Structure 1
Amino acid sequence: MHSRNGTAADLRIYGGALDAPGGGFLAAVVVMQVRGIQGEVTVVMRDESLSGGYRFKDAAAALRFAMDVGMKAARQSAQPVFS
Structure 2
Amino acid sequence: MHFEEVDAGDYRIYAGAIERPRAFGYVAAVVVVRLRGSIPRQETFRNESLAGGYGWPTPSEALRFAINAGRDVVMCGPKSMN
TM-score range, shorter chain: 0.7 to 0.9
Match of 1:62 in 2: 62
Q: How large is the RMSD of aligned CA atoms in angstroms? A: 1.1
Provide the rounded CA distance (Å) in 1 between the counterparts of 2:25 and 2:38: 38
Return the TM-score normalized by structure 2.
Answer: 0.85
Provide the rounded CA distance (Å) in 1 between the counterparts of 2:14 and 2:28: 11
Q: Which runs of 4+ in 1 moved over 3 A?
A: none
> Is residue 46 of structure 2 the alignment partner of residue 46 of structure 1?
yes
Match of 2:32 in 1: 31
- Name the aligned partner's letter for residue 51 of structure 1: A
Q: Based on CA coordinates, which of the two structures has the bigger radius of gyration?
A: 1
Provide the rounded CA distance (Å) in 2 between the counterparts of 1:61 and 1:32: 22
Structure 1 residue 38: Cα displacement:
4.0
Structure 1 residue 37: Cα displacement:
3.5
The gaps in structure 1 that reach 5 residues or longer are: 78-83
Where in structure 2 are the equivalents of 1:65-80 lying within 5 Å? 65-77=65-77
The gaps in structure 2 that reach 5 residues or longer are: 78-82
> For 1:14-59, what per-residue CA distance to the aligned partner results, in whole angstroms no more than 9, with x for missing partners?
00000112231000000000111344x2111100000001111110
Percentage of matched positions with identical amino acids: 41
